[in-house]
Amino acid sequence: MADNSLLIDYLRFFRSWLTLPKSAKQAFRRDRKGKIGDDPGIDQAVSETIEWLARAQEFSATGDGGVARHYSVIDGWGPSYPETTGYIVPTMLAYAKSHENKALMDRTRRMLDWLVDIQLDGGGFQGGTVNDRPVVPVVFNTGQILIGLSAGSVEFDAPYTDSMHRAAQWLLDIQDDDGCWHKYHSPFARSGDKTYDTHTAWGLIEAARASGNSEYGDAALRNIRWALGKQKDNGWFDDCCLTDPNYPLTHTLGYTLKGIIEGYLYSGDSDLLAAAMLTGKGLLSTVRPDGSIPGLLDRDFQAAAPWVCMTGSAQIAGCWLQLYQQTSDTSFLDAARTVNAYLRRRVSVDGPAERRGAVRGSYPINGDYGQYQYLNWAAKFFIDSNLLEKSIQGLET
């Protein structure tokens, strides 16, 4: 049976290989040969990735002010993605301010204006890319966009403040008594409850910070405490994946962990820090000597995929850096630096504009997550994690 399964997998790969364009085959061969560059350092890597995000906005297939979901080596630039454009906003805003870059600031406002324009009547936001159907309000996507609207509210006030309150109130209105959002899940993901909605809770925390409305923060903490009921003794979480809850992506584990950390930073509740440390410690065991982390993990934090989810790796590295800041545990710092360096060596700082500064969905590029694509949210988390590492380095020198 095992031999038959391997044969079927090989035949599927061979059949798909025959249909791939030359550009995709070249990208696959580069990665399989392990042709990676030297570490360009944080400043250059981040600068190039910021510029790639600007190009992703400029060349979005829908040309609307949002950021293209991806660049595919098979079929080019994708349409704008509301969810990730939302949480890209604070990353671009912070970089634009720190570098006094008016052009980037203007780009960020274009993102925000577009998000306000597509907000649904009830205050929620759609799932999927802007041209996906059906157009229905989705909890997770609304929470991610709320992160950006909150940053826009602090920096620019109206109309982003009004939009922020409408989105936050919609999440409050549909939250169930146990703290979970049992309804309004994405039609483009597995049905059922999601512990990674702690990242939605973070959106409410940002709205609470921006507005001073404690009801938003209280609702966020109810969700995070509900999610902790799904945490196992080793830090692993049930119901924490887009597709298969038995083998969650590092991406969705990273979402979950980030939400818990932000819940602690907002509330000061030591139980939340302990829970975050439990998962953070569990994830430490997944790092290989070269800095790679398997893209899928089982309930014992063992590898369930041969490829790396670069998005999830960047998210987890960023969470470890935050845990280091709170605990001074250098095991978190060392792991984050190792993973960030692994990622930087796989982000090109020269070559064609479509992939210069871009971050793959998977490494190798034919891995199952964001297959043959460079993803805008992978770029966002890569920037965040590297800039946080740089900030910590600055404090140490």
Nearest to 346 by CA among 333, 364, 332, 334: 364
pLDDT of residue 324: 98
Nearest to 123 by CA among 24, 217, 10, 216: 216
Domains of the chain from N-terminus onward: 42-396 (1.50.10.10)
Under-70 pLDDT residues of the chain: 1-15, 17-18, 35, 396-397
Segment 29-71, tens digit of pLDDT: 888 877 678 999 999 999 999 999 999 999 999 999 999 999 9
Beta-carbon neighbour count of residue 45 at 10 Å?
Answer: 24
Q: Is 103 exposed, middle or buried (0-12, 13-18, 19+ CB in 10 A)?
A: exposed
**DSSP assignments along 119-150, one per residue:** --TTS--BSSSTT-SS--B-HHHHHHHHHHHH
pLDDT of residue 191: 79
Question: What radius of gyration do the chain's Cα atoms show?
Answer: 20
pLDDT of residue 211: 97
Nearest to 371 by CA among 308, 318, 317, 291: 308
Whether the bond into 82 is cis, omega within 30 of 0? no
Greatest distance between any 2 Cα atoms in the chain = 62
